[in-house]
Amino acid sequence: MGTKKGNIVRTIAIFAKDSEVIKMKNKSCENEKKYYGTMIVAYQLLKQKIITTEEFKQIGELFQNKYKISSPLLINISLRQKI
């Protein structure tokens, strides 16, 4: 019984690439959690009329850029509701 030999360098390269993808996904997930946590607090301030809709939008844009969020679902949903 022989063992199947493959290109170990190629295998390591694929593993390293997959590992980087996982790290990027984890970072993206962490950024989304931070963004939505921030926006939940901002939304509560908006509901309590402590900040204006315009300020809420500005906060959303600021943190959208900071956390690199491509489609801020929470802002779109909250602005459709009457506060």
How many whole angstroms from its chain centre is CA 50? 26
31: which residues sit within 8 A by CB, 6+ positions away? Answer: 67, 68, 69
The angle that helices 73-80 and 8-47 make with each other, rounded to 10 degrees, is 20
For residue range 14-71, list pLDDT tens digits in order: 555 555 545 556 778 888 888 989 999 999 999 999 999 999 999 999 999 998 887 7
Helices (H), 1-83: 8-47, 53-67, 73-80
CA angle 43, 32, 69 (to 5 degrees): 90
pTM more than 0.85:
no
